[in-house]
Amino acid sequence: MNPSIRQRIAQLTASIMIQEGINDYHFAKCKAANQLGLAATPKNLPSNTEVIEEVTLYQRLYQADTQPQLIQHLRQIALKAMKLLADFSPCLVGSVLDGTAHSHSHIVLHLFADQPEEVAFFLMERNMPYQLSEKKYRLVKETVFYPCYQFMAGEQAIHLVVFQTQDTRWSPPSSIDGKPTKRAKIGKLEKLLQCDPCLS
């Protein structure tokens, strides 16, 4: 294992993800390794945690003047969406919550319903066009899929991942470190908006 190689790949991966809007960590890491003329082997590729550390550093060095305002703006949009979807106990997750979102990032909300179709009916009743897809989570012994509804709030994409009502006490593993995904309900998000926009 060569730490300098891993760091070089992590640094370029962070730049690629921010500048090109690539959300797939593995794809971005392989692309970075290829651009550097390095083999995309497990020992060379950095962990997702190493990449997100470089993302944070990149934003601190090169986007210090714009990053806080962007996070504040995205969180304000997220809060409006969460209030609209209050019947589904919405929680903000991902880069908008942890403060690493960039101009290509979308807002991700976890919703909870007895039946996923309830969310579809809610959107249709309000004439809100949406696209249906799936969100994949890798668990210890299996991979599970949850319905995901995407709609646009102006030019900002919002993804709604729908869980069962009883899943409010369970959070899927984060793609970054494998720990339970951090969630913020409306009250917590309102507090974040009153404080430093980069705090999470």
Same domain, 133 and 183: yes
Domain count, the chain: 2
CATH number of residue 75's parent domain: 3.30.460
For residues 54 and 111, membership in a common domain is answered with no
Residue 115's φ and ψ, nearest 5 degrees, are -135, 130
Which domain, by its residues, includes 188?
Answer: 67-194
Please tell me which residue, 14 or 140, carries the higher pLDDT value: 14
SS3 164: strand
SS3 193: helix
75 and 139 share a domain? yes
When pLDDT is averaged across residues 96-101 and rounded to a whole number, the result is 96
- Whether residue 81 is found in the same domain as residue 167: yes
| Mean of pLDDT values over 53-64 | 94
Asked, for residue 199, whether it belongs to a domain, the answer is no
- Co-location of 96 and 187 in the same domain: yes
Q: Over the stretch 121-147, which tens digit does the pLDDT of each residue have? A: 999 999 999 999 999 988 878 899 999
